[in-house]
Structure 1
Amino acid sequence: MSGLQPLLHDLLVTLRAPSQVWCAPDGQVRPSGAQGAYHADVRVLSAALVRVDGAEPEPIGAGRVTGGALEATSLLRMIDGPGPDPTAMLRRRRTVAPGEVTEELELTCATAEPVAGRLTVRLESDLAPMESIKQGRSHAARTPEVDGDTVRWVDGATRVEVRAEGASVEADDSGATLGWDVTVEPGATVTLRWTARSEVPAVVTAPARPEPEWSVPTVVADDSRLAPLLRRSLEDLAGLRMSAGFAPDETFLAAGAPWFFTLFGRDSLWAARLLLPLGTDLARGTLRTLAARQGTTTDVDTAEQPGKILHEVRAGDLHVDDDTTLPPVYYGTVDATSLWVCLLHDAWRWGMEDDDVEALLPALERALAWMREFGDADGDGFLDYADASGHGLSNQGWKDSGDSIQWRDGSLAEGPIALSEVQAYAYEAAIGGAALLDAFGRPGADAWRSWAAELKSRFRSSFWLTDEDGPYVAIALDRRGAAVDTVTSNMGHLLGTGLLDADEERAVARRLVAPDMSSGYGLRTLSSTSGGYWPLRYHGGTVWTHDTAIAILGLTKAGLGDEAAVLVRGLLEAAPHLDYQMPELFGGNAVDDGPAPMPYPAACHPQAWSAASSVALLTAALGLAPSSEQHGGLQVRPITPSPVGALDVSGLRFGGSDVHLAMDATGRLENP
């Protein structure tokens, strides 16, 4: 039976893809909710609970050391000496590597006499699938096998094995207890260790190489929040690096932990696109990985079509709910194909090698052809979607929850749905694709520029609405071609794509920074004046970091620095409240409504495109963009005045070279 989706906001995570450990704030892994050690999409340990003389240590602090390491400190007053001061202590150090979790348990004391006790670690495993845990299903712990100091759980090809040097092992039907009798001398250290190694059949695996594909810039800014945000974000991204079995030499970013720890077309593409100022290697790996599974046939069950870029991959069917079951390789996305083309074009402009670009041009041509031949299912001239399988996603843009496309009164729009931002991605892909075809001497560029011009004209006549606050862009057209009248963040994705003219971009900018849309912590997904608004509705009032970042970049590209600065300052205002780890989403409450942004309690963290958004703040503040000329230079047009004050950045990358830039608080470059 399904229950409630487990909450994540108060859990600590330690990860190195494709492995992760979720624990309570004291470092203990208890058999409840989403807590546990995972490898691929299986929970290999559902409990790892430390006790001393039968009692849990008293926690005094826990937190990440790096993305792959955590330390928790506890007091051991059950074996401590007399006196008010705590003088016996346990440090629990957890390290996660692909397929491996190691814990060191370090005991020390400052007592007059040695302290002694029995330390135990209770381990349980349910080998439960991730999808079932997300649905809140309960799972019985499995009976382990014991061989000396080794404990293992096995289910077919899935296997987890725990070894603990010097420990006694006591097993029962629901788990095993590791035990050590310890004596700690004053001033000395006793260190105990256990390691779990896991094997799980999976489509995605550890990354192809150990080092990240991007540079790590050094940032000095008047705004003291920017540097720690960037540092934390890049550390989080390092833990999300993955490779796929069908493209084992390439690296991409998994969408997010814990639920989306795999390849997602849209998410992985956007994350790589946001990181382009730090290098093009991640973009190349992401493009190649997705091209390796580009659609070749028409399959209603998987939503595959020739030229289409996939939505996600899993090891088996994914049962989302009673009505939705996705096949292992699923193509139900309306935007990933256009975004793939956009990333290839942008990576080329940022300096991706011509040979690497040219090798991907056949996939580019197939992707462009998909937009024209398959993207418009109802023939109205706009890219749209409708699930034809009966068990796929009902909404197939980035706002993919069932209630995300709604009218201002809160009622749901009926599909096929043509999303506004999808038309912008398609326009940008057609123009960028044409530039690539021209540059490499391939035919078809003029036809795609004509296609884009016609789309632009149709869009202007179909998507614009006006209310008492002025003009704005509808989120979508419904099955009748009617413009769905909610005011949403989707229109922020249109900025800088070329789909809008300058006056239209200014109109959109005004709506985005108005109080009903800008919470002071970022951009709300839905206007607070809409009937369906709620600050904790997944796509109906929350703030998504990447959504805000995309709008920031579009505003900057459109020359609307004042409005971009409003949203830059909003994300920076939110960052310290979130411990500089921008989650998948957070509450849309205003700055003056409570002490901090409300946590969205089921939000994934880290999330690839959220973490990558920190780089977008740098990109916007400096006004970075490749020249429109082939093999041109890097344009630098800072927002003035600077939303982060004076800024000095070294370690950016363009065309394979390091870039150092500095500007004062007015936005004047000091080394143009």
Structure 2
Amino acid sequence: MTQVIKEGNLFFHSDDWGYLPQGNQQGLGLYYRDTRFLSRLEWELDGVEIVPLHAKIDGAESLYRYTNQIVEKEGTVSFWRESLEIERQCWLHGGVLYERFRFSNLDRNPLETHLNVRLDADFADMFIVRGFQEGKVGDKQPVETTTEGLRFSYQGVDGLTRSLVVKVEPAGRSGEDGSLRIPLSLAPGEEQEVTLTYLLSVGEETMKAVQQEEAFNAFRRAGEEWDHLCPQVYSDSSDFNAMYRRGLADMRMLLTDVGDGLFPVAGLPWYAVPFGRDSLIAAWQSLAVRPEWAKATIRTMARYQGEKVDEWRDEEPGKILHEIRYGELAVTGQIPFTPYYGTVDATPLFLLLIGEIYRWTGDWGFVRECADAAKKAFRWIEEYGDPDGRGYTVYQRKSEKGIGNQGWKDSADSVVHRDHILAEAPIALVEVQGYVYQGQRIWSSLFRRLGEDKWADKLARQADALRERFRRDFWMTDESFPALALDKENRQVGTVTSNPGHCLIGGILDRDQSVSVARRLLSPDLFSGWGIRTMSQKARSYNPMSYHNGSVWPHDNSLILLGLKQSGFDREAEKLMQGLIDTGAQFEGHRLPELFCGYGREEGEPIPYPVACSPQAWAAGTAFVLLQVMTGLNPDPERGRIRLRPSLPPDLSWLNVRNLRVGSGHIDLRLVRSQGVVHAWVERNTTGWPVEID
């Protein structure tokens, strides 16, 4: 197992006890902008064997407690076991890693020893650490010893000098092998602290530290401010309460700012970067919690919107990025992620999210701000997204180092026919057509209000035509369910998957089709009891241990959940919510993982997927979607009102919510189930919109 703490662009990925063992194969380290600045961190005490006791990891802070084995000299006990209390704190603040040891002697005898710390910094690019790429790299410089500690440095092939300065108090002896040796002298009842500060620099960018106590207090104040700004949730389900709190903590951890405000990156440890699809969906999930994240996400994506045709990066005018990387390989052009645009769904999700921001906030000024970027995105959908003129938005990789499958199920075997043969590109994914349709309908209305009637009429016509084609070409009559995709020959990729569940949002399916889809999604071959599988158990390619062909992804379930609620399938939504809440209760800290294996509930507890990111932004955001579906909040800025259609999963009988973000203010709600009916009360409303309860 491993642990991660993160703040901004800096994260520390360690083993369960905060160590970075030399030569570890798990990619452990201290990372900043896709470079590993610290690759080894081990410590020990002379002559004293350490016993780990407890570890607590929370956001940007970790706390570890250790004690000691018995110390004997020439057959005589010189220091009794469990008499040394060791507390070690690590936290991140302002781009700096702070580490503090506190040693307390609880024995009647004194203890004389040394704290030995062994460090190394390999300055490896993230893609090299993960074994994905090889390339030309720079030179690591000899370790320098200083009066305060150590300095590691690296001259990159990108012309940048990267360095790590380690300062230790009290001063000890530093070695050119990256070691620090600090004397400890503890009388009975005495306590001693040792602090280490890790300062990074990249080119002209240098992190600056403050006194540790000042840094720790600032870190704690930021946490208190965060708690004050977020909605508070209380219910009679301790599991849901804990899942929601964990979602908030994880989302805070995953926020970053590249110039346009805080927004969610994808996940840790490997995707702590702007990530088109993941960032957009996580922001969408979070609208009732912190809508400013969604605005920052849109502004960030618009800043990097495609401007030209560049096959190396799969870039095209108007396209929204897939992923940005900042390491040595990216800066020198050895990989195309600067940014890389190989995603088919980020562009329609960008359009969809702007409309959702307006729906939740009523901020018309923001819509005006985004109108030009929206036009560019629609031009991409019409011109570059449909190169073969089929009337569908498709993908086909052009970059030699790009991604083959460019939907959210992007593994090489994820788009597969019923006969187990992989589909060939260009491929039109089912959910992408649903996103495009939603974007067209939303923006037809928005452009009409902007006075852009030509755009409004054009998008309305395109939406109607797409809906008609879609219902004809994607519907599988033998399964009464939409196909996963259409391949390059316009043949249905007929494997039954979770993807069509996203089409329950927005209206591209007719009513009878929606009923059939909702029923199938909750049938035993797709619903495991914990969540909806990515692929039906009946499919030839089904594998419950696979990444995309039978596993369960919470974010996938959250979008299906939104569709079930929007389409009026409340009972199905309640069943799915209960499954997800029960799943969260089975994982440490009630953290929903990126994904888990698709084994059925009858086979026992949910089985973790071995390399899932944890935390993952759109998994954290799933808790916020559950909250939204329970309250049944449906803002309507055009009519200046809020509709409520509450429902609760079976294990909840009441729910109180304070500080939900809607319109220009907040709303407090109380829900209570009585005799099978969920009743709602509005206890505070500063949104500017009246509430109607269905």
- TM-score (structure 2 length as normaliser): 0.88
Q: Does 1:461 align with 2:468?
A: no
Distance 1:394 1:317 in 2: 24
Give the C-alpha shift of residue 85 in structure 1: 5.8
Matches within 5 A, 1:298-447: 298-315=309-326, 325-443=335-453, 444-447=455-458
Give the C-alpha shift of residue 550 in structure 1: 0.7
Match of 2:463, as an amino acid? A
Number of aligned residue pairs: 646
Q: Secondary structure at the match of 1:526?
A: coil
Q: Secondary structure at the match of 1:621?
A: helix
Distance 1:304 1:224 in 2: 47
Give CA deviations for 1:564-623 in whole Å, capped at 9, x if unaligned.
1121111111112222222221221222223x3222121111111111111001011111
Quote the residue 2:102 is aligned against.
106
Compared with structure 1, are the counterparts of its residues 277 and 510 closer, same or farther at alpha carbon in structure 2 (3 Å cutoff)? same
Contact 2:251 2:620 in 1 (8 A): yes
Distance 2:16 2:327 in 1: 32
Q: Does 1:166 align with 2:173?
A: no
Give CA deviations for 1:97-155 in whole Å, capped at 9, x if unaligned.
24211111111122112222111111111111111111289999974211222311111
Distance 1:273 1:27 in 2: 34
Quote the residue 2:497 is aligned against.
488
Give the C-alpha shift of residue 515 in structure 1: 1.5
Quote the residue 1:18 is aligned against.
9
Q: Find 1:283's aligned residue among 271, 279, 294.
A: 294
Give the C-alpha shift of residue 632 in structure 1: 2.0
Quote the residue 2:689 is aligned against.
none
Quote the residue 1:97 is aligned against.
93
Unmatched 5+ residue regions in structure 1? Answer: 1-9
Compared with structure 1, are the counterparts of its residues 371 and 391 closer, same or farther at alpha carbon in structure 2 (3 Å cutoff)? same
Q: Secondary structure at the match of 2:596?
A: coil
Give the C-alpha shift of residue 407 in structure 1: 1.7
Quote the residue 1:4 is aligned against.
none
Give the C-alpha shift of residue 83 in structure 1: 8.8
Matches within 5 A, 1:140-179: 143-156=142-155, 157-172=161-176, 175-179=177-181
Give the C-alpha shift of residue 56 in structure 1: 5.4
Match of 1:195, as an amino acid? T
Q: Does 1:63 align with 2:56?
A: yes
Distance 1:643 1:624 in 2: 20
Q: Does 1:76 align with 2:68?
A: yes
Distance 1:115 1:399 in 2: 57
Quote the residue 1:661 is aligned against.
669
Quote the residue 2:233 is aligned against.
219
Normalized per residue, the structure richer in helix is 2
Contact 1:264 1:311 in 2 (8 A): yes
Distance 1:160 1:310 in 2: 31
Distance 2:61 2:49 in 1: 22
Q: Does 1:652 align with 2:660?
A: yes
Give the C-alpha shift of residue 647 in structure 1: 0.8
Q: Secondary structure at the match of 1:164?
A: strand
Q: Secondary structure at the match of 1:378?
A: coil
Compared with structure 1, are the counterparts of its residues 477 and 98 closer, same or farther at alpha carbon in structure 2 (3 Å cutoff)? farther
Matches within 5 A, 1:529-548: 529-548=538-557
Please say which of residues 108-117 and 504-513 is displaced more in the overlay.
108-117
Distance 1:424 1:214 in 2: 37
Distance 2:173 2:183 in 1: 12
Contact 1:368 1:433 in 2 (8 A): no
Give the C-alpha shift of residue 359 in structure 1: 1.3
Match of 1:219, as an amino acid? V
Q: Secondary structure at the match of 2:150?
A: strand
Quote the residue 2:45 is aligned against.
52
Contact 2:118 2:178 in 1 (8 A): yes
Q: Secondary structure at the match of 2:679?
A: coil
Give the C-alpha shift of residue 213 in structure 1: 11
Q: Does 1:195 align with 2:207?
A: no
Quote the residue 1:43 is aligned against.
36
Contact 2:149 2:171 in 1 (8 A): no
Distance 1:228 1:330 in 2: 36
Contact 2:127 2:133 in 1 (8 A): no
Quote the residue 1:7 is aligned against.
none
Compared with structure 1, are the counterparts of its residues 641 and 127 closer, same or farther at alpha carbon in structure 2 (3 Å cutoff)? closer
Distance 1:512 1:117 in 2: 63
Q: Find 2:284's aligned residue among 254, 273, 278.
A: 273
Give the C-alpha shift of residue 641 in structure 1: 6.2
Contact 1:73 1:90 in 2 (8 A): yes
Q: Find 2:585's aligned residue among 572, 576, 587.
A: 576
Q: Does 1:239 align with 2:253?
A: yes
Contact 1:11 1:24 in 2 (8 A): yes
Give the C-alpha shift of residue 490 in structure 1: 0.4
Please say which of residues 477-486 and 562-571 is displaced more in the overlay.
562-571
Quote the residue 1:3 is aligned against.
none
Contact 1:561 1:640 in 2 (8 A): no
Distance 1:371 1:187 in 2: 71
Give the C-alpha shift of residue 482 in structure 1: 0.8
Contact 2:244 2:624 in 1 (8 A): yes
Distance 1:450 1:525 in 2: 33
Distance 1:316 1:52 in 2: 36
Contact 1:215 1:653 in 2 (8 A): no
Q: Secondary structure at the match of 1:278?
A: coil
Give the C-alpha shift of residue 624 in structure 1: 1.6
Distance 1:484 1:317 in 2: 39
Q: Does 1:132 align with 2:128?
A: yes
Distance 1:408 1:56 in 2: 58
Match of 1:99, as an amino acid? G
Contact 1:123 1:177 in 2 (8 A): yes
Compared with structure 1, are the counterparts of its residues 213 and 398 closer, same or farther at alpha carbon in structure 2 (3 Å cutoff)? farther
Q: Secondary structure at the match of 2:653?
A: coil
Unmatched 5+ residue regions in structure 2? Answer: 156-160, 209-220, 683-692
Give the C-alpha shift of residue 388 in structure 1: 2.2
Quote the residue 1:5 is aligned against.
none
Distance 1:604 1:523 in 2: 19
Q: Does 1:255 align with 2:266?
A: yes
Compared with structure 1, are the counterparts of its residues 202 and 667 closer, same or farther at alpha carbon in structure 2 (3 Å cutoff)? farther
Q: Does 1:590 align with 2:600?
A: yes
Give CA deviations for 1:644-666 in whole Å, capped at 9, x if unaligned.
33111111010121111111133
Distance 1:642 1:632 in 2: 32
Give the C-alpha shift of residue 352 in structure 1: 4.7
| CA RMSD, 1 decimal | 2.5
Give CA deviations for 1:316-360 in whole Å, capped at 9, x if unaligned.
5868xxxx9434111111111111111101101111522222111
Compared with structure 1, are the counterparts of its residues 215 and 555 closer, same or farther at alpha carbon in structure 2 (3 Å cutoff)? farther
Q: Does 1:526 align with 2:535?
A: yes
Quote the residue 1:120 is aligned against.
116
Match of 2:257, as an amino acid? S
Distance 1:37 1:503 in 2: 53
Compared with structure 1, are the counterparts of its residues 215 and 551 closer, same or farther at alpha carbon in structure 2 (3 Å cutoff)? farther
Quote the residue 2:213 is aligned against.
none
Compared with structure 1, are the counterparts of its residues 288 and 128 closer, same or farther at alpha carbon in structure 2 (3 Å cutoff)? same
Give the C-alpha shift of residue 536 in structure 1: 2.0
